[in-house]
Amino acid sequence: MERARISIVTPSLNQGRFVERTLASVLGQRYPRLEFILMDGGSTDGTAELLRRYRRHFAYLESTPEVGPTTPVQRGLARAGGEILAVLGMGEMLAPSTLDFVTWYFAEHPRVDMIYSHRLLVDEADRVIGHVLLPPHRHRNMRRHPLIPPETAFFRRGLYEQAGGVDPAMQAISNFELYLRFMAIGKLARADRFLAAHRVLPTSRATHRMEAVGAEELTQLRAELPRGPWQEFQDWRLIQSIVWRSDRFVRSGRTKPGAWPGMGYSYDEIWAGTLSNPRDGGV
């Protein structure tokens, strides 16, 4: 199978504890046409030293304090040369064989411009603490709520360029704003699996500030969208559907690629112990 080149951009700032997990999950894919771009904003907690150890695996490594009007993600994506692009936050982890699946999916569905998947939540100790199982993609649902998990989003380079890239004016929900523009011009699809895991950390004051800013930005974006008379009911129905799907997955005992049913197990088990011991995974 002809493999597409995939560029993954990972911004990082003082997340030394989780750096190896993220790197192990990306490099453990054993994907031959991977372009891994790491944008460190001048970490002071030892992340920089750790990244230097993995230097040979990165197509580009930037380790300087944030400067200029552009964000690290913007700069990283601007450098990316892959046909498929993704942004993976430091601390987040790809599921095994994610890149193989993404390549296969885009090859099989040439009209799809972006895919995302359900969301898996893990805590600081890699324990799985929750799932968000999304319904099949519909613009009508997804444009009102920032539900698309950014760590699971993979999009074609053409779509990104056509949309005009990340809007630096958005502080908290730049991903959502970008996906809104994607929805306006491209075709999106939800894969019925878990492509990555999102790490939930205890919220800090800075996070609360960002949440407040995010809520404000979301209100602004929603104000531009049409609002039907049943909007509130539809919103409630969407949320209920997600809750029901997630609950049913946890109880059903059926596995989906990238996650096991139930909660409390370590995400490292999905990776056969190679996140905590990257050497066992050949990284």
Partner 1 sequence: MGSAMPEPEQLSLPAIGAGTPRMSVEESARIAELLDRLDRAEARMADAIAHIRQEEAAAQRGRNPLESIEPRLWLRWLVGLLLCQVAPPAAAASPAPPRLSIVTIAGGDTDATARTLESAIAQNYPAELIVVDLGSDPAWARRYEAALSARIPAAGASAETGFALGLARATGDFLTVLAPGDTLLPGTLGRVGAHAARHPDDRILVLERVIERSVWRFAGGPVEPASLAAVPTLLPQGAFVRRHDFDRAGGLDIAFGGMPAPALWPRLLRQHGARLLPGQGVVLPVAEPAERELPLYATGTSFWHRLRIRLGRRWRLAFPADEAGPVPAAAEPAPLVAARCPITDRLPLALLFSTPDTRFAEPGMSEIWYHPASHCAAMGPPLDPEEQRRLTRRDAGRTGFVIEPDPGAPSPFRHWRGRSSLLAQLGRLNLPGSLAGAFGRWADPTEAELRRMLRGLLPEGVLPRLLEINCLDGSLLDRFQAEGWHGSGTASEAEDAEAARAKGHEIWQAEPIDLLRVIPPERRFDVVFMSMVLEREIDPLTVLQRAARLVEPDGVLVLSAANLDSAQIDCFGPSWAHWHAPYNRFLLSKRTVAQMAAASGLELVRSRSFSHPYWSWMSLRLNASGLAAAIPHGIKPDAPTASRAATLALASRLLHDWRGRGDYFYAVLRPARG
Residue 208 is encoded by which pair of tokens? 């609360």
Q: How far is the CB of 42 from partner 1 (least distance, A)?
A: 29
**Residue 210, CB-side half-sphere exposure with 13 Å CA sphere:** 10
* CB 134, min distance to partner 1, A: 13
Judged by CB under 8 A, which of 46, 81, 168, 282 binds partner 1?
282
Answer yes or no whether residue 140 interacts with partner 1 by CB under 8 A. Answer: no
Under the binding rule (CB under 8 A), the answer on residue 240 touching partner 1 is yes
* Contacting residue, 11, 28, 82, 149, with partner 1 by CB under 8 A: 28
Task: With CB under 8 A as the rule, give the number of residues binding partner 1.
Answer: 39
CA dihedral of residues 141, 147, 148, 152 (deg, nearest 10): -150
Does 235 help bind partner 1 (rule: CB under 8 A)?
no
Site residues for partner 1, 168-197, by CB under 8 A, read: 191-193
- Block residue for tokens 């992340």: 47
**Region 244-263 residues binding partner 1, contact defined as CB under 8 A:** 244, 247, 254-258, 260
Q: Is 142 in the site for partner 1 (CB under 8 A)?
A: no
The answer to whether 274 contacts partner 1 (rule: CB under 8 A) is yes
Interaction between residue 104 and partner 1 (CB under 8 A): yes
Residues making contact with partner 1 (CB under 8 A): 1, 3, 27-28, 30, 32, 95-97, 100-101, 103-104, 191-193, 236-237, 240-241, 243-244, 247, 254-258, 260, 270-274, 279-283
